[in-house]
Amino acid sequence: MRILFSLILGLFISAVSFGQIEDPIKWNFEVVSVSDNEVDVVISAEIEDSWHLYSQYVEGPIPTTFTFFDNKSHEFIDGVVESTPHEDYDKSFDTILKYFEEQAEFRQRVKLLSDSVSVLKGEFEFMVCNNGMCLPPEWVDIELELPAASKASKPSSSSSSAHGLWGIFFLAFLSGFVALLTPCVFPMIPMTVSFFTKQSKNKAQGIKNAIIYGLSIIGIYVFLGVVVSGVFGADALNNMATNEYFNVAFFLLLVVFAASFLGAFEITIPNSWINKADSASDKGGLIGIFFMAFTLALVSFSCTGPIVGTLLVEAASGGSYIGPIVGMFGFSFAIALPFTLFAAFPGWLNSLPKSGGWLNSVKVVLGFLELALAFKFLSNADLVLDLHILERETFIAIWIVIFGLLTMYLLGKLKLAHDSDLKHISVGRLFMAIVTGAFTVYMIPGLWGAPLKLISAFPPPQEYSESPYGVGYTLGGAAEIHKEEGQHLGPQGIMAFHDYEEGLAFAKSVNKPVMLDFTGKACVNCRKMEQGVWSDSQIKSILKNDVVLVSLYVDDRKKLAEEDQYVTTLAGKTKKVRTIGDKWMVLQANTYKTNSQPYYVMLGSNGKPLLENANYQDYGTIDLFKDWLSRGLAAFN
C-alpha cells in the first residue's frame, strides 16, 4: 500500500511540475555610496539550484543586457561591471560560455549631479537555463531612488570571485618559461651568475643577493600590471572582450608583435635608457641589484615585450581588474626563478644547453602563434559589428595556412630572416612538426562544416558562416526546395512556419496536423533535440512530410508594431509584450501553463491538442519522441 501511495504521489508531482510556470531567479536592488557624489547601483540575483544565468558577454544564448535611461540629475560612469562568471565549453553552441550559478552581482557606477533626491530608471533582459530546459528571455524594469549628492549613505562591503585568475597565472607562468628560451634572455643567465659569483664574498651573501635580484624582477613586471589596470580601470577592462575598437587595436598590436618575432624588425628600448640603468647598477647594494634587474628587463624587451603585451591583452580582455597584475606576477616569477636559482647555485650552469640557432627558432614559432591569436580578436570585432567579413570558413582557412607554414618551418622547408642553416632536424623539432601538421589537417574538415571542438572557443560559431550547413551542402541532394509563402528553412533542412496563424491556416489547407515547436535561438536543449533527435531519418521524414512544423521563437527580438504591443498579466506579474518573442512566450504560458523550451504540441485541424504535450526531459530520446509523433499522427488520422 505504501509503495502504491508513493507511486501515485510521484506521478501527481510529475504531472504538476510538467506544466508549471518556472521562476527560478530572484532579483534584489540596492544603492550604495562610493563617495559624496557617486553611488553604485547594485543589482544582484539569487539563482535556484541547477539553474544558471548568462553573463553580459556570451555569443549564442541571450546575454544579460542592461539599459539605463538618461536623466539630467545623474550620469553613468562607464558600463555595468559583473561579478566573475563560471566559464565552460557548451556542445550545443560549440563555444565557451560564461554563466552564473547560485548568485550574481552587477554594478553600475552613477555620478550624482543634483542636490535633491532623484529617480533612476532603466531595464534589463536576461535568460536562465538548466540541464533540462531554457526559459524565454525576460525584461525587468528598474526604478530606484538616488540620494542627493551630499546625503549618500556609507558604502557596503562587496566581494569578488577570483575564479579564472589561477588560469591567468599559470598561462603567464608558462609564458615566462617560454620567454627564457628566447635569444634575448637565455644568454643573460650565465652573465648574471658570473656577476653574483664575483660580487658576493661568501655563499650566504650570494644567495641573499640572488633572492633580492629575483624579487626586483617580479616587482618591475608587477608594477607594469598595476599601471595597465590603473590606466584602463575596472569598467574598461570588463568591456574589452566585446568592444570592437579594443579588439581591432589588439589585432593590430599582435600583428606587429608577430612581425617582430618573425624577423621583420626588432622592438627595442632606446639605448640611452639601457645605459642609464646599467650605470646605476654599478652603485652596488640593494639599489645596484634592483637596477641590474631593470637592465635585464630593458635589454630583453625585444623578446619579452611581445609576450608581455600579449599576456596583458589576454588578461585585460578577461574583464578582471587584477588580471593584468596576476599575469605579470606569474610571468615575472617564471623569469626570476631560474636567474635566482642559478645565481644561488652556479654549479647548475653546466646542465644548461648551449646557445645557438634554436633560440631564434623559438622566436619564430612564437611569431606564428601570435599571428594566429591576432585573428581571434579581429573575429571578435567582426562578430560584434556583424560585418560578416571574417566568417567561419575564412577564419579556419587563415589558421590552416598559418599552422601549415609553421609545420613547413619546423621541417626546415621554410627559412626566415636570422635563421641559421639547418643541417638536420632534431627529434624534438620533428615531434612538434607532427603535432602542428596533424592540427592543420584536423582543421581542414571545418571548411565543410565539421564542429572542430578542439578549437571551438576561437573561430566564429557555425551559424556565422557562408554556408551554415557546410560548404557544398545541398539539403540531402535536392537541387531545389519547395517553399510555401511564410515558410523558412529550419533545423535539419525542414521547412517551418514562424507564425502561428499562418502555419495553422496552411495545415488546414493541406489537411495535415500541426506540430508547434516552442523554441529559442539561444535555447541549449532545443539545439540538442534538433541535432540529436530530429536527425533520425524516420523522425526527419515525419517532420518533413507528415506534419506542418510551426517553430515559434520566444526570444525573437524583432519589435512588434506599436499598435500590436500591449501589457498583460503572467503568473501574477505584469508583462510587457513588445517583441515577437514576447508574443509567443505569452501564448505558450497562457495556453499551456508552462514557459520552458523546447516544448512540443501536436494540434489537429481544429487547433486542439491531439495528445499530451512533449518536453525535453520526458521525450528527449529518439525512441520516445518517435513514439509521440506516431501516436499524434494516429490520433489525427
- pLDDT 10s digits, 327-378: 788 888 888 888 777 767 766 666 666 655 666 787 788 889 889 988 988 8
pLDDT tier, 65 (very low <50, low <70, confident <90, very high otherwise): confident
Q: What is the pLDDT of residue 517?
A: 93
Provide the pLDDT for residue 391.
86
pLDDT tens, residue by residue, 134-156: 787 888 888 888 887 754 333 33
Contacts of 505 (CB under 8 A, 6+ apart): none
Question: What dihedral do alpha carbons 561, 562, 567, 570 form, nearest 10°?
Answer: 20
Label residues 538-569 b or e (16+ Cβ within 10 Å = b): ebbebbeebbbbbbbbbbbeeeeeeeeeeeee
Neighbours of 279 (CB within 10 A): 11
pLDDT value at 84 more than 50 = yes
Is 47:24 a contact under the CB 8 Å cutoff?
A: yes
Q: Is domain 24-146 classified as CATH 3.90.600.10? A: no
What are the cell numbers at 486?
A: 511564410
Per-residue confidence (pLDDT) for residue 514, from 0 to 100:
94
Give me the chain's average pLDDT, please: 77
Q: What is the pLDDT of residue 438?
A: 96
Average pLDDT over residues 239-248: 65
Confidence of residue 586 (pLDDT cuts 50, 70, 90): confident
pLDDT of residue 150: 57
Question: How much is the pLDDT for 7?
Answer: 37
pLDDT in tens, 275-314: 666 665 555 567 777 777 777 776 666 666 667 666 666 6
| Percent with pLDDT over 90 in the chain | 16
- Percent share of the chain, pLDDT over 70: 72
Lowest mean pLDDT among 49-63, 185-199, 397-411, 608-622: 185-199
- Residue 482 above 60 pLDDT? no
36-44 mean pLDDT: 86
Query: Cell numbers at residue 498, please?
Result: 514562424
pLDDT of 405 > 90? The answer is yes
The domain spans of the chain are 24-146, 165-357, 391-473, 487-636
The confidence score (pLDDT) of residue 620 equals: 83
What per-residue confidence (pLDDT) applies to 237?
Answer: 47
pLDDT score of 386 more than 70: no
Is the confidence at residue 627, as pLDDT, over 90? yes
**Which of 82-96, 529-543, 586-600 shows the lowest mean pLDDT across its residues?**
82-96
pLDDT tens string 107-123: 988 888 877 778 888 88
Q: Where would I find the H helices in 411-516?
A: 427-443, 500-510
CATH 3.40.30.10 fits 487-636, yes or no: yes
pLDDT of 396 reads 93
| Cβ(315)–Cβ(236) below 8 Å | no
Helix (H, G, I), strand (E, B) or coil at 477: coil
d(CA 335, CA 337): 6
pLDDT band at 318 (very low <50, low <70, confident <90, very high): low
pLDDT reported for residue 603: 92
Tens of pLDDT along 201-235? 566 777 777 788 888 888 888 887 777 666 655 44
Q: In this predicted structure, which of 8-22, 141-155, 484-498 has the lowest mean pLDDT?
A: 8-22
E strand spans, 102-185: 103-112, 118-126, 128-129, 138-146
Rounded Cα distance between 107 and 44, Å, is: 9
Instruction: Tell me how far the alpha carbon of residue 245 is from its chain's centroid.
Output: 17
pLDDT band at 78 (very low <50, low <70, confident <90, very high): confident
Please indicate whether residue 441 or residue 263 has the higher confidence score (pLDDT). Answer: 441
* Residues 166, 185: Cα–Cα separation, whole Å: 26
pLDDT, position 202: 67
pLDDT for the residue numbered 160: 36
Give how far the C-alpha of residue 617 lies from the chain's centroid of Cα atoms, to the nearest Å.
28
SS3 of 452-468 = CHHHCCCCCCCCCCCCC
pTM (2 decimals)?
A: 0.46
pLDDT of 496 higher than 70: yes
Residue 15 has pLDDT above 60, yes or no: no
- Residue 510: pLDDT over 60: yes
